[in-house]
Structure 1
């Protein structure tokens, strides 16, 4: 296996990306579900579900961030996904 294709163990950088960018992406995705999911924004008992959905998505993103090859790659992918998710949420809402 070449040195370039190995996953680098830069734990601190990946953890910070997962905590900050993962949380903001999970927040945007939860916003997508809140606005465009079943029943729309005013659906009964949707607040509690959204709260648990946010936690689930954030923890999934935090755990998957270690599969990126480097902190730079994690920053670029999660940053791009954040820009896309938040941009579309504000445009379509």
Structure 2
């Protein structure tokens, strides 16, 4: 490897991607867990379902947080995850209501 190898600079939108993954990823994970709790097998009152729902939040959140870096820009990440949040929370409110 020569000394003239150029590395790609750090993109300035990584803050937006981090925010999208951390905040919008968490809220999306909560909404998806809530949807599974209400619509999944046995409904909301199924025995031991609360433990599964509780423990499923972290893997879903970390998966979204990991894949957020595949978006082209931070703005795309914010828009897509924001839209997914609106859809998931809207469905959750519809199912509960």
**TM-score, normalised by the number of residues in structure 1:** 0.87
Structure 1 residue runs of 5 or longer lacking an equivalent are 1-7
What count of residue pairs does the alignment treat as equivalent?
86
Q: Structure 1 residue 46 and structure 2 residue 59: aligned?
A: no
* Moved segments of 4+, more than 6 Å: none
Instruction: Please report the RMSD computed on the Cα atoms of aligned residues, expressed in angstroms.
Output: 1.2
Structure 2 residue runs of 5 or longer lacking an equivalent are 1-9
Q: Distance in 1 between matches of 2:88 and 2:68?
A: 17
Q: 1:21-80 CA deviation, whole Å, 9 max, x = no partner?
A: 000001000001000001111111111111111111000000000000000000000000
The answer to whether the 8 A contact 2:28-2:85 is kept is yes
